[in-house]
A and B are shown apart, each in its own frame.
Chain A
Amino acid sequence: MAVTFDAVVEIRGEGVTTLTTAAFTVGSGSNRAGAVGLSFSANNPTAITTDIGGVSGILVPGSDSLDRGSNNRTMIFALVAPPSGSQTATASWTTAMDCILGAVTVSGNDQVTPMNGGVAQGVSSNSANPALTVPSVSGDLTLGVLSENATPSAPTQTERWSDAFNIFGRGSTGAGAGSDTHKWTAASSLWAISGANFRAPDSILPGGGPADDRFRFRPSVFWSGTSTLGTKRSPWPDDALDFGMQDTIDDSRSRLL
């Protein structure tokens, strides 16, 4: 089974702390997953939460471009099993700033680890042509998210959203092909870029390793009644386990429960 693009929605906001998209239709395909890509106009958004159709997203490890001092920051949040039908996507954070939010849903996706291969880059001085290589295997679907000060060209992968005001925010997807490069051609400027990989069921990145494993965890640990994120339905099935991370799970349990 290969990951198949389903739907996309996008919104932009200026001087805001929360954005909620227009209604969009999530398909009824099996093994659905979703991602929320954020392009910020400042370095320091904190306490970020996202959801699609009420299902909360979790930051894909490695996908945060971090504070590079460039007033561009990108990140990708992933979730499984967004409800089908008419839905909206939301992101909230502290400190009002500009943001472009793009949300993508897919079907045919792994239901335990919806995305892996998180990568990100950012520049602290002007640089041309933002590009990022996202690891994947055949059957996966990669996602790239860009925030830039200059007008980027069409991407090397399939463009899913494109918006501009104080920042230029873009999103693109590419069929898994080992290593998808998400690249935009642009004049030299400041930018940040994030990427992550929608996993086909049980797909493993070449070499496995941390990029493949960091996002696996036992959901009940993170979605306990004491969690600040626990007001929304867990995006992971209750029986989702990854024994490869048992040590980490136990550590987390001892701290959180």
Chain B
Amino acid sequence: MDPQTERKAQKRRGGIFALLLFVNLLLLVLFRVGLTVPPEHWAFSFLSIFQNVFFDINKVVDNSMTNLREYRDLKKNYYQALVRLQDLEAMEKEYETAVEENKRLRNQLDFSARIEESHLSAEIVAYDSGRSFNAIIINKGSRHGIKKNMPVIAFIEGRIGLVGKIRETGLFSSMIIPVYDSSFFAAARFSRNRYEGLIQGLGTGQDYNLMLKHVNKRAIREISVSDLVETSGINSLYPSGIAIGNVKAIKSREYDTSLEIIIDPIVNFSKLEIVTVLLTKQEGNP
């Protein structure tokens, strides 16, 4: 390439770079001043279709792998003349799975019956692409009646636990901000002695722990480790009485007028598969 053509190519590259930088910064400034870009909703709807497809493929592959493994095991046992025993074991396994499934479904039914609000169950299909952000994506969207800011809960060992809130909806998918995200806030109180505070996520770097802030210092004599913290429902998106977590540690500084309490969330996010969205009416939503 001769020097003149090279210079032209360099200029073109620089021009394109400047243009792309401008577009990106413009989008960020629009966000900073509180304006949203409508096509984002449609792009999310479109891309989340592929995420759902990948989730389904994953399920099929998982099932196929399980089937292959079971087939290999059966074959091996056949050659060892243990067909009969193997069949019985397989039947026993299926029975156990059925019992487990039955138990789980019964729990879900009990759970559904216990929630007074209109609600909708959804499966988790994807997580945020990066570690610095904590979005969870579920396979139900605006087509199913989900709207921004709706509370998301889960049924954990006989209790209703807070998972987070809806951040964004696509047609067939929605994005959840989980309680452990540092942008998450909710009004909370102690289940036993009713002291109130504000819960905030601490991010995944702190083992999914949460921080309960602005708790009156007088509470220190009445609260203890493992006390239950729940939503207070005061000026909040969340109905009252949803369990958030248990007290893990209490921090009290002399110069501070309130306590800082570390909360261990009641929901085990590493094992969470199904969540329930409360279809409550939200401000600004019809």
Q: Do A and B bind each other?
A: no
Measuring CB to CB, which residues of chain A are less than 8 angstroms from any residue of chain B?
none
Report which B residues bind A (CB closer than 8 A): none
